[in-house]
Structure 1
Amino acid sequence: MPKIRDSRVLIVATDGFEESELFGPREMLMAMGAQVMLASPDLRPIQATVHDDPGRTIRPDVRIEDARSADFDALVLPGGVRNPDALRMNKPAIALIREFAQAGKPVAAICHGPWLLVEADLVRGRKVTGWPSIRTDLSNAGAKVVDEPATIDGNILTSRNPDDVKPFTEALVELIESSASA
């Protein structure tokens, strides 16, 4: 089984991501030895939000259309409202999310990030969670919605909000280390 220190994790985000939901998992994973890369629609720095206020920026490592699931062990989809809302309309982003899921690799989405799982048609029949305002969307897409800090159903991991970054990341580490496909 792979260890987190040997893993490669891809984060997909664009402007409007919730700062702690990208930087938190990224820093925790890197501290454990994982290689973490960021993909975005282009390579210009992207702007975080802290709730509704501007946050830090970060420069992507790769464009979404150039990223391949075969090069990574897991995918992380941070929330924020604008970030997943914009990425839902990005065909290469949705294709990449489906590629990870079809390969059986962990796909982890937090807060509003599960919107992307709805767009990729990955929640039907699965137990998931997310930010309260998207739970109806999750349910309408066929998911069984729960209210838990970190919910794993197969290779899909979902979480509710910025306060859940630690249990979300711990659950991701568990998924990566138990994943036969990594």
Structure 2
Amino acid sequence: MIKIYGVGRGRGKEGENKPAAPKRQPGEIRIQKELDELELPPHTSIAVPDKNNLMAFHITIAPDEGFWKGATYKFVFNVPGAYPHEPPKVKCETKIYHPNIDLQGNVCLNILREDWKPVLSINTIVYGLLYLFLEPNPGDPLNHEAADALRTDRVNFARLVGRSLKGGVVAGESFPKLT
């Protein structure tokens, strides 16, 4: 009797067994495709620290307009194995005075939470982050003090952001010099 299953699998030229390639999860395959096709906006870059782990990478954004113009912010992406059915975890590694990013780097972006859908992509998230720099949303804040400042007096908010970018103290918090 001939065994159909396994015929020709795992054999080298001389009939030796080859080690099997590690099986990739669907999320890894999707991330590979997305990263290959990524179309980053100007002043944005990506770094993959471990080429063997595409599920963890950094996106750097340097806004060219808005309150945070001239500074550079690093976001860490950790993609779960269930991606794209679960959104990536995104944290801002650069301390920032922003209504939608708290002092621990947690990011409040609707598509990273309740509005996530598997059709969304890393590219969508990057554009969402960029939009937070152009149009911060004081109506859905993580940093309530920054949101209140933005809501009540945009000119004063701009002054506070400027102070934070120069390495000053805002609301009792010290910020790194970014400009």
Q: State whether TM-score is above 0.5.
A: no
Structure number with the bigger relative contact order (C-alpha 8 A, sep ≥ 6) is 1
Task: Please identify which structure carries the higher strand content.
Answer: 1
Normalized against structure 1, the TM-score is what?
A: 0.31
Normalized against structure 2, the TM-score is what?
A: 0.31
